[in-house]
């Protein structure tokens, strides 16, 4: 009986630790920013009615009066990026427009169901496509690679008189394919892939290459800098991708600023929680839970 009592105490302590975070999340109320209109919810065409309801719950978009809802179809995939008309569209997204300077912030609300595309990969591709100043939340009720969410996001930015550049959308989609291919087939860590793409963009912004050979040198330099080994075919794939971007005359300076803004925002939020002592904060968390584990072992021993 004594051991059971102590177990209940431990569980109660864990509840006190977790509950403030849960309460803060559950207490948030949706406020529509009248400058930018309602958030846009884009649901994959292949979802069943029950799955659509699950996505609405995941994305906190159950109130039809609070969001504008759209369905992304295989026809949209064809129209926006020249994709396969037989594709099934599952992954979905909610797009909330933000003020100038916000940048592009991506949150995958159930990352266990998005198996290939990370939030950094989405952000990189969306900046290439010309998306600015938005909070993008991605979800899927089933395990998917996550590629179709990009088309849904494009659709949300091509309504109400807005239009993203067709060529930029296509090359951004190719960028996402390159990123996931490098992670899945070349065996490079997903975060490392995102870092590579980001650093290449920054260097293109700074050096303003005038030829494909200069782009190729930037790619190779960043591979060396990050100690990444690629096959000649994969290196060529990267060079071709960024050469296409160079030919589109994308303002990589603006992209770089927004990427830096995303990083700064994330670091700022962490420092706000930890008081700037991130190492001490995480060590404290580790010690706290280790003490609980040791206590449980002692009770059961």
Per-residue model confidence (pLDDT) at position 251: 83
Please give the share of the chain, as a percent, with pLDDT higher than 90.
57
118/258: higher pLDDT: 118
pLDDT digits (tens, 9 = 90+) for 54-100: 999 999 999 999 999 999 999 999 999 888 899 999 999 999 999 98
Over range 117-146, report the average pLDDT: 93
Is the pLDDT higher at 52 or at 101?
52
Using the CB atoms, write b or e for 74-96: b if 16+ within 10 Å.
bebbebbbebeeebebbbbbbbb
The answer to whether 61 touches 67, Cβ cutoff 8 Å, is yes
Tell me what pLDDT residue 272 has: 60
Query: Taking a C-beta distance cutoff of 8 angstroms, is the pair 72, 148 a contact?
Result: yes
Question: Confidence class of residue 298 from pLDDT cuts 50, 70 and 90?
Answer: low
CA pair distance 201, 128, nearest whole angstrom = 10
Residue 129: predicted pLDDT: 94
Residue 81 in contact with residue 168, Cβ under 8 Å?
Answer: no
Looking at mean pLDDT, say which of 24-33, 64-73, 264-273 comes out highest.
64-73
Q: What is the mean pLDDT of residues 109-137?
A: 93
Q: What is the pLDDT of residue 68?
A: 96
The answer to whether the CB of 123 falls within 8 A of the CB of 19 is no
pLDDT on residue 297: 54
Whether 250 shows a pLDDT value over 90: the answer reads no
Task: Give strand pairing partners of 136.
Answer: 95, 106
- CA dist 110 and 59 (Å) reads 10
User: For the segment 130-141, what is each residue's pLDDT rounded down to a tens digit?
Assistant: 998 899 999 999
- Rounded mean pLDDT of the chain? 81
| pLDDT score for 212 | 94
**Are 222 and 199 in contact, with CB atoms under 8 Å apart?**
yes
pLDDT at 268: 52
pLDDT above 80 (res 257): no
Three-class DSSP labels, the chain: CHHHHHHHHHHHHHHHHHHHHHHHHHCCCCCCCCCCCCCEEEEECCCCHHHHHHHHHHCCCCCCCCCEEEEECHHHHHHHHCCCCCCCCCCEEEEEECCCCCCEEEEECCHHHECCCCHHHHHHHHHHHCCCCEEEEEECCCCECCCHHHHHHHHHCCCCCCCCCHHHHHHHHHHHHHHHHHHHCCCCCHHHHHHHHHHHHHHHHHHCCCCHHHHHHHHHHHHHHCCCCCCHHHHHHHHHHHHHHHHCCCCHHHHHHHHHHHHHHHHHHHHHHHCCCHHHHHHHHHHHHHHHHHHHHHHHC
| pLDDT for 290 beyond 70 | no
Q: What's CA 197's distance to the chain center, in Å? A: 14
Q: For residues 182 and 296, which has the higher predicted lDDT (pLDDT)?
A: 182
- The mean per-residue pLDDT over the stretch 145-170 comes to 90
Q: Give the model's pLDDT for residue 24.
A: 37
pLDDT of 293 > 60? The answer is no
């Amino acid at each position: 009986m004594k051991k059971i009592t102590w177990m209940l105490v431990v569980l109660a302590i864990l509840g006190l630790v977790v509950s403030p975070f849960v309460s803060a999340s559950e207490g948030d109320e949706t406020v529509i920013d009248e400058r930018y209109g309602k958030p846009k919810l884009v649901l994959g065409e292949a979802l069943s009615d029950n799955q659509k309801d699950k996505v609405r719950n995941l994305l906190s978009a159950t109130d039809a009066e609070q969001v504008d809802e759209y369905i992304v179809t295989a026809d949209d995939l064809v129209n926006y990026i020249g994709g396969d008309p037989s594709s099934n569209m599952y992954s979905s997204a909610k797009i909330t427009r933000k003020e100038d300077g916000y940048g592009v912030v991506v949150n995958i609300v159930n990352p266990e169901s998005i198996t290939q595309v990370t939030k950094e990969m989405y952000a990189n591709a969306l900046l290439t496509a010309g998306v600015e100043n938005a909070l993008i939340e991605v979800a899927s009720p089933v395990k998917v690679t996550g590629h179709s969410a990009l088309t849904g996001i494009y659709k949300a930015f091509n309504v109400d008189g807005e239009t993203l550049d067709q060529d930029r959308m296509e090359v951004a989609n190719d960028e996402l394919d390159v990123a996931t291919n490098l992670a899945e087939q070349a065996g490079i860590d997903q975060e490392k892939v995102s870092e590579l793409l980001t650093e290449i963009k920054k260097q293109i912004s700074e050096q303003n290459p005038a030829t494909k050979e200069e782009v190729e040198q930037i790619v190779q330099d960043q591979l060396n800098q990050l100690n990444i080994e690629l096959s000649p075919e994969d290196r060529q794939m990267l060079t071709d991708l960024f050469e296409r971007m160079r030919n589109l005359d994308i303002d990589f300076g603006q992209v770089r600023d927004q990427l830096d803004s995303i990083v700064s925002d994330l670091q700022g939020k962490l420092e706000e929680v930890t008081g700037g002592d991130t190492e001490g904060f995480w060590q404290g968390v580790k010690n706290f839970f280790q003490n609980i584990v040791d206590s449980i072992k002692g009770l059961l021993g």
